[in-house]
Amino acid sequence: MGIRRVTSVVVVFSVAILLMAQTATAKQFRWKLKEGEKLTFEMKQTITQSIDAGGMKFEIPVTIGMWMSWTVKSADAEKYVLEQVIDRMVMNMKTPEMTLDFDSDQDQKLEGPAEQVAQTFRPLVGAKITAEMNDRGEMSNVNIPDDALAGLQANPLVGQMFKKEQLTEMMKANGATFPEESIEKGHKWTVPMEMDAPPVGKMKTETSYTYAGEERADKAVLDKFNVDVRIEFSGGNAAMASVKVTEQKTDGSLYFDNEKGRMVKSNVTTNMTLAISAGGQSINQKVKQVMTVTVAPA
Mean pLDDT of 230-237: 83
Is the pLDDT reported for residue 289 higher than 60?
A: yes
Distance separating alpha carbons of residues 148 and 164, to the nearest angstrom: 10
Distance separating alpha carbons of residues 110 and 90, to the nearest angstrom: 14
**What pLDDT, in 10s, does the model give residues 143-199?**
999 898 888 878 766 656 567 777 777 776 667 789 999 999 999 999 888 888 777
Domain ranges, residue 138: 29-180+187-297
Residue 6 located in a structural domain: no
Phi–psi pair at 145, nearest 5 degrees: -55, 140
How many domains are there within the chain? 1
Residue 18 located in a structural domain: no
Residue 216 located in a structural domain: yes
Mean pLDDT of 221-236: 91
Mean pLDDT of 132-136: 95
pTM of the model as a whole: 0.86
Residue 288 located in a structural domain: yes
Whichever domain contains 285, its CATH number is 2.30.230
Q: Which residue has the higher pLDDT, 89 or 278?
A: 89
Task: Return the ∠ at Cα 221 (arms to 215 and 224), rounded to 5°.
Answer: 40
Nearest Cα residue to 80 out of 23, 142, 168, 25: 142
